[in-house]
Amino acid sequence: MLPFSSDEASLRAAFRWDIPERYNIGVAVCDMWAARDPDRLALLDVNASGGVDRVSFGDLRTRSNQLANFIVKSGVTRGERIAILLPQSREVAESHIAIYKVGAVALPLAVLFGVDALLYRLHNAGVTGLITNSASLKKIRSTKELLPDFKFLLSVDGDEGDAKDFYEALASCSREFSPFDTFTDDPALMIYTSGTTGQPKGALHGHRVLPGHLPGFELVHEFFPRENDLLWTPADWAWAGGLLNGLLPSLAHGVPVVARKFEKFDADEAYRLMQDFKIRNIFVPPTALRMLRTVKNPRAKYDLNLRTIASAGEALGAETLLWAREELGLTINEAYGQTECNLVIGSCNALSMVKLGFIGKPVPGHRVAIIHEDGTECKRGEVGQIAIARPDPVMFLGYWNREAASHDKFIGDWMTTGDQGVMDDEGYIKFIGRDDDVITSSSYRIGPVEIEDCLIKHPAIALAAAVGKPDALRTEIVKAFVVLRPDFMPSDALENDIAQFVKERLSAHEYPREIEFVNSLPMTTTGKIIRRELRARI
């Protein structure tokens, strides 16, 4: 979709959207390529011991067809939500493709979520099917709260209670399936936001979200695809970054993707993976890039074959950019967006479209501006809110069952981001910071409300507030301010117990790494916590 060009001006002049009236993500990332060459490589599914499952587009078509038939046989109808709760693997790709083919809505969920976070999303979305594994089944069954009324429940680890074996279910179904004829605006994918103002919201996307991503993806990977391109990302495919900045657009181009589940990110293991599989393209969040920096002289230690590096999720910083140029011989291309409207700003070294301290320029096809509170555009050099104009093919359809919140996301035809920025005279955009209370830690955007709701479930806590504290490695860490109940006293043991409580019930990236016991919290007259006063204490 992005025409090759040697300079930015001619590229922008030549760009045109090419999005058909009817489009199905499952067909675009699988069946189209399987029809041309069923043996074409789609995935390299690498296990912890280094074993590789080579998956062709023909394999993906067959297994996704069988799963699609099973989903339909289970009584799932168009528009119903089906959750995928698995780490990077071929089964994740097959599940997404099958769900899109039947016209249902894929709801990817991260395996690091705790039981509270999972149950909230499963119930809020009204999920009617779940594809998962034994570990996650144990997690969601560890509570007395009732699970949704699933029409089917599949586990890749075999039969377990009311969960059926994933592979047996597929084996019982036909290998042929005619994908539903979907419009580009038909619902296809829902990803929950970080919950910056209240509980997380389900951002619902149409099938057009994938072609909407392609220009930005092609830009930050310098006119992707090129010969021998092969993509890998350590980002969980349950997040917008891993799924929409990695897996789906690469498959849409017929380029294979490496799947590798890391229990914990390890810099040397990552370099070894890049070396062993001759990976050409990587999408790596800034925190993981900072961890890669801990390995000295990586090109001397490993035989790397990288062509492009893209990054998103938080401001990269000039130091990491300079490191990559010196140690890897490549310029990191940054990308910017939100779950609601992703990959709308980017940089591209091939076009000399990179500027230290700036996240890039609007991607061709997207109108991005810095606006005032009334929706008028700021002058160049003036700080305001980063906003994206509608209509835009990558923009969400709305928040799930949250009409008022969907309306409030816009000022006129500008979709607001809650991010402060400034645009210079050349059109480069600098990210200034959030104008709300979101915490950015290890590239995850964390909403404080969900953490606070979990904290006050602890028997010792009366009131709690969560804010971000600057951190050299993670950008920010979660810091909690806690008011204890009368019968409890502050102690190191209690602090550790509270942290573990949140870690187990929400996720490993959301628990407070610092806890401060206080007598009271600053409040507005309406009872809202004034988090900016707490941040000022840090």
Cβ neighbours around 221 below 10 Å, total: 31
pTM, entire model: 0.88
- Rounded Cα–Cα distance for residues 132 and 86 (Å): 5
24-182 adopts what CATH topology?
A: Rossmann fold (3.40.50)
Question: Is 439-537 in the same CATH topology as 24-182?
Answer: no
pLDDT one-digit tens code per residue, 108-146:
999 989 999 999 999 999 999 999 999 999 999 998 788
Give the residue extent of every domain in the chain.
24-182, 439-537
pLDDT one-digit tens code per residue, 6-60:
899 999 999 999 999 999 999 999 999 999 999 999 999 999 888 999 999 999 9
pLDDT one-digit tens code per residue, 75-94:
999 999 999 999 999 999 99
**293: its two tokens:** 């920096």
Q: Confidence band (pLDDT; 50, 70, 90) for 196?
A: very low
Q: In this structure, are residues 488 and 464 in contact, taking their beta carbons and an 8 Å threshold? A: no
Q: Are strands 414-423 and 429-434 parallel, antiparallel or unpaired?
A: antiparallel
Residue in this structure with the two tokens 């293991």, named with its chain if needed: 269
Instruction: Render 3-55 in DSSP notation, one character per residue.
Output: ---SSHHHHHHH------SB--HHIIIIIHHHHH-TTSEEEEEE-TTS-EEEE
**CATH class as words, domain 439-537:** alpha beta
- Rounded Cα–Cα distance for residues 119 and 145 (Å): 8
- Rounded Cα–Cα distance for residues 235 and 243 (Å): 8
What is the reported pLDDT for 98?
98
- Rounded Cα–Cα distance for residues 79 and 350 (Å): 41
What is the reported pLDDT for 158?
97
pLDDT one-digit tens code per residue, 421-467:
999 999 999 988 666 677 888 877 787 878 887 898 899 998 899 99
What is the reported pLDDT for 49?
86
pLDDT one-digit tens code per residue, 273-306:
999 999 999 999 887 888 898 899 999 999 999 9
What is the reported pLDDT for 450?
80
Residue in this structure with the two tokens 């069923």, named with its chain if needed: 38
- Rounded Cα–Cα distance for residues 124 and 126 (Å): 6
